């Protein structure tokens, strides 16, 4: 049988591992009587750990929410997983500093064998760039803003904020990065969605009843409203799909309507549905409505279709494709000239 101190730690670990435990099951797991479990629960409470209990035939114990974070009791795999995850954290402002502090505390209490294992993984691996699909730097989101939005979603409270559409655009790019326009907003917040290294809020206008997607890095929260609303869920409940479709059609800095000389079915079979919206024009023609964060990225998208197409705008994209076309032609002209020279040399040889 475990001594009292070891048993208390084991009991605390069990209480942290799932929402609730029947007293009889705790007693069986620790090899003690139900009376001993009751005494140990009382000791944990004296030490400052809030343990809630329900009486009756289905009575159980659960670790309540306290004013202080209790010590986490992790098994070997959990400790290593958290250490690796903390090293890889990215995309939220201040997350690197917070992760470094948490990692230092964790590594300080890790057993020597686990500390060596975590250090070996860190020292023997390198991390490639997260953003390989765009030449535009990823935005960072304020952790405090995420927490405030998440609280409003959880508590079903109206969320009031100022929305400022990003102005870091370059020549040839459209100014809007989302479907929403700048200005003060009041929405019913329903879901936070993380996609392509960006965070989005899906909200519903309580007056107009319309749905919209907002880039979180362009949100400045105002005072909490503390006004609870009755939810009106998005039809189909597919909040992630709503964001993907909304961003694909309106949410990028550069937008374009590309005429593709192929059927809509053929184009859809060659792209991810989030790349854009395909509008059928005829059996052998359709329009791809797409977008990206830069002219270079959207040029890659349409080049990868492997189909004939026509671009009528925006002007910056037309100019960029013209430059690319001339560059590609020059690359094969050099090869052709080299082949012609080789042929002439061969003809002069006896």
pLDDT in tens, 203-240: 999 999 999 999 998 999 999 999 999 999 998 888 98
Q: How many CB atoms lie within 10 A of CB 212?
A: 20
Low-confidence winner among 156-160, 292-296, 334-338 (lowest mean pLDDT): 334-338
Q: How far apart are CA 187 and CA 211, in angstroms?
A: 9
On whether the pTM is more than 0.85, the answer is: no
% of the chain at pLDDT higher than 70: 80
Categorize the per-residue pLDDT at 57 as very low, low, confident or very high, splitting at 50, 70 and 90: low
Torsion over CA: 76, 70, 66, 43 (sign): positive
Kindly report the average pLDDT of the chain as a whole number.
81
Helices (H), the chain: 4-17, 23-30, 34-46, 76-88, 95-109, 112-123, 143-155, 239-250, 264-268, 295-303, 315-348
Q: Which residues contact 33 (CB under 8 A, 6 or more apart)?
A: 27
pLDDT mean over 30-48: 89
Between strands 141-142 and 92-93, the pairing is parallel
Q: What is the pLDDT of residue 173?
A: 35
pLDDT value, residue 301: 84
In the block, residue with structure tokens 């954290």: 89
Report in angstroms the alpha-carbon separations of 252 from 3, 10, 34: 62, 52, 61
Residue corresponding to tokens 């992630």: 240
Lowest-pLDDT range, 71-80, 223-232, 299-308? Answer: 71-80
Collapse the DSSP code of 208 into the 3-class scheme (helix H, G, I; strand E, B; otherwise coil) and give the result. Answer: coil
> In angstroms, rounded to a whole number, what is the distance separating the alpha carbons of residues 190 and 209?
13
Question: Taking 80 as the threshold, does the pLDDT of residue 43 lie above it?
Answer: yes
Taking residues 179-198, what's their average pLDDT?
Answer: 87
φ, ψ for residue 142, nearest 5 deg: -70, 125
How far, in Å, are 15, 26, 146 from residue 58 at the CA level? 17, 14, 38
At residue 253, does pLDDT exceed 50? yes
Q: Are 134 and 293 in contact (CB under 8 A)?
A: yes
* pLDDT tier for residue 67 given thresholds of 50, 70 and 90: very low
What tokens appear for 41 in the block? Answer: 């629960």
Answer with the residue of higher pLDDT: 55 or 66.
55
| Alpha-carbon 161 to chain mean position | 21
User: What is the distance between the alpha carbons of residues 120 and 172, in angstroms, rounded to a whole number?
Assistant: 47
- Model confidence at 111, in pLDDT bands (50, 70, 90)? confident
Dig out the tokens for 15 from the structure.
């209480």
pLDDT at 345 over 60: no
């Amino acid at each position: 049988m475990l001594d009292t101190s070891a048993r208390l730690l084991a009991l605390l670990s069990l209480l942290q591992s799932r929402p609730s435990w029947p007293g009889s099951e705790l007693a069986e797991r620790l090899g003690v009587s139900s009376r001993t479990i009751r005494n140990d629960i009382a000791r944990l409470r004296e030490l400052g750990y809030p343990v809630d209990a329900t009486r009756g035939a289905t009575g159980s114990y659960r670790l309540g929410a306290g004013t202080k974070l209790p010590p986490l009791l992790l098994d070997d795999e959990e400790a290593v997983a958290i250490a690796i995850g903390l090293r890889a954290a990215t995309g939220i402002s201040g997350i690197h500093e917070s992760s470094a502090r948490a990692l230092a505390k964790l590594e300080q209490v890790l057993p020597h064998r686990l500390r060596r294992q975590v250090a070996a993984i860190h020292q023997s691996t390198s991390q490639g760039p997260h953003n390989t699909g765009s030449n535009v730097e990823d935005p960072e989101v304020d952790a405090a803003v995420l927490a405030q939005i998440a609280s409003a979603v959880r508590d079903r409270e109206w969320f009031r904020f100022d929305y400022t559409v990003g102005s870091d655009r370059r020549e040839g790019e459209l100014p809007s990065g989302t479907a929403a326009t700048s200005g003060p907003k009041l929405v019913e917040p329903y879901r936070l969605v993380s996609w392509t290294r960006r965070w989005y809020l899906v909200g519903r206008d309580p007056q107009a009843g319309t749905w919209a997607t907002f880039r979180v890095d362009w949100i400045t929260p105002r005072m909490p409203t503390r006004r609870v609303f009755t939810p009106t869920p998005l039809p189909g409940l597919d909040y992630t799909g709503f964001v993907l479709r909304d961003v694909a059609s309106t949410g990028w800095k550069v937008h374009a309507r590309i005429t593709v000389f192929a059927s809509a079915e053929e184009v859809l079979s060659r792209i991810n549905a989030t790349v854009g919206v395909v509008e059928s024009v005829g059996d052998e023609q359709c329009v791809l409505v797409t977008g990206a964060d830069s002219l270079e990225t959207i040029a890659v998208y349409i080049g990868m279709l492997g189909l004939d197409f026509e671009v009528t705008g925006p002007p910056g994209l037309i100019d960029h494709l013209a430059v690319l076309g001339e560059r590609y032609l020059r690359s094969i002209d050099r090869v052709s000239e080299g082949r012609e020279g080789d042929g002439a040399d061969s003809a002069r040889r006896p």
